[in-house]
Structure 1
Amino acid sequence: MMQMQAHNGSVNYSKGEMNMRGDDSLAHREMAIDVPSSFVPHPKERPRLTNSGKEEKLKKYQHDIKARKDQELRLQKEQDFLRASLRESKKLQNLEKRSGAANGNSASPDGFVNKAFDRDGGEYASMNEAVSDKTKWLESARVDVGKAVSTQQILNLLHALRAKLGNNSNELRVMNNLFNNVQFQDSVTLYNQVTKAKKGDKPTSSPPQPIAPDVYAAIQRSESKQAMQLRDILLRPPFKEVLLPRGHQAMLSTISADTQSPVSPVSSSSRVSAVEKADQYGESKIDIIHVRKTADPLGATVKNEGESVIIGRIVRGGVADKSGQLCEGDELLEVNGIPMRGKTINEVSDLLAGMTGELEFVLVPSGSQRYSRDMQERKTSVRALFDYDPEEDQFIPCQELGVSFTTGDILHVINQEDPNWWQAYREGEEDQALAGLVPSKLFWENREQLRLQILAETAEADNQTACCPSGKKKRKKSQYGVDEIDTDDILTYEEVTQYFPQPNRKRPIVLIGPPDVGRKELRQRLLETDSERFAAAIPHTSRMRREDEEDGKDYYFTAKHLFEADIRANKFVEHGHFQKDFYGTSLESIRQVVNSGKICVLNLHPQAIKSLRVSDVKPYVVFIAAPNMHILKENITKSSGKEPTVDHCRNIIDKGREMEIKYSHYFDFIINNSNISTAFQELLAEVNRLEVVPQWVPSEWLK
């Protein structure tokens, strides 16, 4: 895939440009050609696991656990067998008998006397003389391992063996024929050269570059087994970088790009020297490279700088990225003999759209360094805290490569070389041929700051022209009666990592949602379903204890001044005031339930989530959404026995929407409470899943 870029994609945009929604020059700075169908610009649906998908993941996780247990059991059985074998060993029993005899036991030790170990004489002395006699001639022909070995040294060793063993040995005759073989002698010479190269010695042969093109052309034409083996050896990095310049490395990449369809050799007419091309274009250095474009997209973008066509981006996963020949900043002069200078991005797009097979690029190298393979494999996972649609973004370099996502989606960022646009895959879409483009954290922060500044200036201008009758400026408040989100708190991404469930430390389940949506009923059902598994955090209060209440069971009864001191010390995740008395849920109460091995079930206001997330309890937030007006009215009537008003139902729905707008980046799971029984089963299934399936959590939680 080749895309076109007209501007450099910098982040320095004016306020006027932010409002230019109809500017075509900003809409398409890069244009895709053979982009995969999955990147056709249309909103993508957020990937969600179906019930069958959840069951499949659960089965896989359980299978892995069983396999690990089987492995541990097998190792345990092997250890037991070895221990039993030692105990039943006859040698060990003989040693025990001998030890008993030494301690005064009448039992005589079994065994025999080995005269070879009589150091005073006998067989040991004669054997020692024989060994010392044989080592004398071996030392004369000793060959140090790791040093260069000549065929003459090997023949000397053979003669020494023949002198001792005689000429009638069949093995010596075979070895003599082998050592005198010309091919074997050539192999020894090659071994000596490799040994010198490993030690850093300079090779005695002349530089290989002049004959490299002919060698690789022969490899391309040959289909023999030896040629294939040589090709595999030369494709490895040490030989690839040492033997060939970058232009000829492309030949090797072309050979390995498509093993199913062999590459035809480049014709002599197209094999023009780089020196001739440099003279033709008036450049000091020219590279000629070959890349095979198959069914996989090319994965490169270009931009116009005057009349020049410059490679602006290498997209991870494409042929250009795998071949390693095209670099960002290279200027394209020709593609398959067609000049590129002076062409517009649309013309280049049309030319390259239908090109397949081997492509010959004549280019001016930029000298930029590519990332190593280790850097390319390095991946950062983040959770998106905002919604993004590339179709609505006029600043994205290439809309066809844009990745749309919603709040809560997991993105695997594999390249952050561009400070403005990251290359990433969305969770569940790692099989895409190419990575997509998403705005970087810094780029999105700058854009949001500029947008909020424009909104603030516009609101200030409106307030100056349209004031309320009292002469005071209008002040917007949320329907919940709390201040709006701080303008400095711009939501971008949150780095995440996988968290594996711990059997003795369960994550608390936090239910949030608008009033009368059914949170209390769902919480009560969980607590009543299994009291050994679910528990509630015991709240604190400053009111007086009643006769039927027990401190530490119904409430923690605290003096009012102590309660106020705990509030100032931020010990409560949520607290309130009712009839001059304080009520609240402390972090320590939640932690006690977690440490007991039970699942703590909480009903909290969304504002309490922020303080809970910075603690060590790792909450799992479930948002209970309201259904439509008709169903909500029926649910409230069934639960309370009174029919609610239309305004009351509308207020519940509006507050739920406001919560989603302000706090959806905290949500881990959403349940639409159309039916309380169905919602409970869905909640219980999600809680069960949390105990066996890894989850994405903020990286800070595991640090």
Structure 2
Amino acid sequence: MTAAVMAADGSFDPVISKLITSLKEAESLSEEQDLGFLQNLLQSKELNALVNVHSKVAKINKDDRIAPLLSASMQVLIEVLELLAPRCHISPLCKEVFHLLQTPHLQSLLFAHDAIAQKDFFPHLPEIPVEVDEDEETIKIVQLVKSNEPLGATIKTDEETGKIIIARIMHGGAADRSGLIHVGDEVIEVNNINVEGKTPGDVLSILQNSEGTITFKLVPSDGKLDQRESKVRVRAYFDYEPENDPYIPCKEAGLGFVKGDILHIVSQDDSYWWQARRECEKTTRAGLIPSRALQERRILHERTQKESNGETKKGSCASICTTPPGSPNPNNPCRGPKTKKIMYDTAENDDFDRELIATYEEVAKLYPRPNVYRPIVLIGSPGVGRNELKRRLVARDPEKYKSPVPYTTRPVRPGEVAGREYLFVTREKMENDIASGKFIEHGEYKGHLYGTSGESVKSIVNAGCVCVLSPHYQALKSLRTPQLKPYIVHIRPPAFDKLKQSRTKARARSTFDESNSRGFTDEEFNEMIKSDERITFLYGHFCDDEIVNGDLTEAFEKLVSLANKAETEPLWAPVSWVQ
């Protein structure tokens, strides 16, 4: 057996040589079979080659650079092919090599190698022609490489001069990144085609038919507008599809979104079209969205058209102003009265709230505060189960979750304890407190006043507990304040079939019957769904989340999850709550 393994250059590898010497000394101490295996392994050519490669790489200093030996391997390949061509008919080996060197894969590999070796990574722009004429105005020539990415600029015709000018630069787009094209620049030529007298559509056709590079000849604007991005974030309260918008300046530049998306408004320079990105897409090109003013005008126009045409639409203003849920129905005198006793002040009605147009709301991240918990507010149509969900949440941890005790002017009934079911006060005192604005929710039922005071909510929050409320939906206007910062959950009914099936299976008692001695009727199920549509239309944009109560157990599990989320995670909230 050789004493050491030969290196590639004929020298002995000292490390492996030492290992073999150590094995020889251990022959009498170990099994012969194992020693033989290790000796054969250490003497193998493969291991010797690997060790040599490792040694050479390890010796490279960190300041050294691995550089290609040549940057014209394709030229060498062509020269080799010229040398082999006359010998192909003589030697089969030459013929095989000749065909191998002509394979597309090998030639592509060498071509890529040369491009990297020459650092030829970028497209070549043609030379810019130099035209000097002291009598002419300043002209700038800008060249951009055309790719699948939109240019990121829009153009328009100046109403006074009829010239084509740059209308806007999309933040993060190719034009913006170049830093060479600015809002207000006049377009004179595109790819040597004079655009005088042409429309923006004509210029767009020129750009679409261009290949490779695009050359603009521009007259610079008098002043460069500030292109710094704003820090405004908004929550969208409607869906938007730019491809279906006939009025957007450029459909390709539009940004689609759905209700509830958080948008970063990077520019509000245009009164009709803002530039925005989705908050989760920080590095993408900004897109166009309708401004708040434009969207409000659209919604008002749409409502006016529907009302003038006498149309009714699910969830529209024509249907949300119908009889409120729980009101007496003259066509059904046998139906029992609604048992919900705490009703919002009837002076505030849906006719006022329907005039509020929800488009965008400026928001910021609201971070949890130690021992100061956001109240959890459950809204929903009568009978949907929000009071039962509130009861279960409070029962789950009574020391943590608490619900305020309502006030009433009615007498104490047998079995009731003052301060447990209700706080009993005189009518005079309660009327004075209502006039002073101390109640977030109040109403009258069978000659007696009922209500929930704002101070009772604040006392629970200040005690380090989570206040859980299930008010009438109109109370949101009093509850949704920077002082309370509520986390609002909309409890919604499932579709009619699922609603009826789940309540029948659970043997749920009708909340429209004061005695709770019967189940819900189909009419009450339909009324529950219609009421939910009304709440969604009027107040859906106030809600942070929603739960569809098709199965009470599943709905409660989600409520617990949302309660934990409100306590532990930074969440988007109205910017006034954070400032």
Q: What TM bracket, shorter-length normalisation?
A: 0.5 to 0.7
* Distance apart, 1:337 and its partner CA: 2.6
Check conservation: 2:150, 2:252, Cα contact below 8 A: no
* Paired residue secondary structure (1:618): coil
Equivalent position of 1:574 in the other structure:
441
Q: Are the structure 2 counterparts of residues 579 and 310 from structure 1 closer, same or farther at C-alpha, using a change threshold of 3 Å? A: same
CA deviations over 1:177-216 (Å, ceiling 9, x no partner): xxxxxxxxxxxxxxxxxxxxxxxxxxxxxxxxxxxxxxxx
**TM-score normalised to the size of structure 1?**
0.55
Equivalent position of 1:301 in the other structure:
154
* Distance apart, 1:458 and its partner CA: 6.6
CA distance in 1, matches of 2:239, 2:323: 23
* Paired residue secondary structure (1:424): strand
Check conservation: 1:626, 1:674, Cα contact below 8 A: yes
* Distance apart, 1:585 and its partner CA: 0.9
Which of 133, 143, 146 is the matching residue for 1:275?
133
* Distance apart, 1:444 and its partner CA: 2.9
Equivalent position of 2:530 in the other structure:
654
CA distance in 2, matches of 1:626, 1:539: 26
Equivalent position of 2:277 in the other structure:
425
Q: Are the structure 2 counterparts of residues 636 and 576 from structure 1 closer, same or farther at C-alpha, using a change threshold of 3 Å? A: farther
Aligned partner letter, 1:525: R
* Paired residue secondary structure (2:460): helix
| Consecutive unaligned residues in structure 2, runs of 5 or more | 1-70, 72-118, 312-317, 328-348, 510-517
Which of 540, 545, 553 is the matching residue for 1:669?
545
Q: Are the structure 2 counterparts of residues 497 and 675 from structure 1 closer, same or farther at C-alpha, using a change threshold of 3 Å? A: same
Check conservation: 1:504, 1:597, Cα contact below 8 A: yes
* Distance apart, 1:511 and its partner CA: 0.9
Q: Looking at both structures, which has the greater relative contact order when contacts are Cα pairs under 8 Å and sequence separation is at least 6? A: 1
CA deviations over 1:409-467 (Å, ceiling 9, x no partner): 321101111111110112323343x21111212333344455556667777xx9xxxxx
Equivalent position of 2:485 in the other structure:
618
Q: Are the structure 2 counterparts of residues 310 and 423 from structure 1 closer, same or farther at C-alpha, using a change threshold of 3 Å? A: same
Equivalent position of 1:261 in the other structure:
121
Aligned 1:391-540 pairs, distance under 5 A: 391-432=243-284, 434-449=285-300, 477-480=321-324, 482-485=349-352, 488-540=355-407
Aligned partner letter, 2:375: P
Could you tell which deviates more after superposition, 682-691 or 302-311? 302-311
Check conservation: 2:190, 2:203, Cα contact below 8 A: no
Aligned partner letter, 1:275: D
* Paired residue secondary structure (1:361): strand
**Equivalent residue pairs, number:** 422
**TM-score normalised to the size of structure 2?**
0.67
Q: Are the structure 2 counterparts of residues 634 and 449 from structure 1 closer, same or farther at C-alpha, using a change threshold of 3 Å? A: closer
* Distance apart, 1:505 and its partner CA: 0.9
* Distance apart, 1:300 and its partner CA: 0.9
* Paired residue secondary structure (2:133): helix
Equivalent position of 2:189 in the other structure:
334
Check conservation: 1:275, 1:285, Cα contact below 8 A: no
CA deviations over 1:86-114 (Å, ceiling 9, x no partner): xxxxxxxxxxxxxxxxxxxxxxxxxxxxx
Aligned partner letter, 2:171: R
Report the structure, 1 or 2, having the larger helix content: 1
Check conservation: 2:390, 2:470, Cα contact below 8 A: yes
Check conservation: 2:277, 2:287, Cα contact below 8 A: yes
Could you tell which deviates more after superposition, 484-493 or 528-537? 484-493
Aligned 1:664-703 pairs, distance under 5 A: 664-703=540-579
Check conservation: 1:275, 1:286, Cα contact below 8 A: no
Is 2:508 the counterpart of 1:640?
yes
Q: Are the structure 2 counterparts of residues 519 and 401 from structure 1 closer, same or farther at C-alpha, using a change threshold of 3 Å? A: same
CA distance in 1, matches of 2:176, 2:458: 49
Check conservation: 1:274, 1:288, Cα contact below 8 A: no
Is 2:428 the counterpart of 1:561?
yes
CA distance in 1, matches of 2:176, 2:404: 54
CA deviations over 1:31-59 (Å, ceiling 9, x no partner): xxxxxxxxxxxxxxxxxxxxxxxxxxxxx
Aligned partner letter, 1:653: I
* Distance apart, 1:356 and its partner CA: 5.9
RMSD, aligned CA: 3.0
Equivalent position of 2:456 in the other structure:
589
Could you tell which deviates more after superposition, 493-502 or 284-293? 284-293
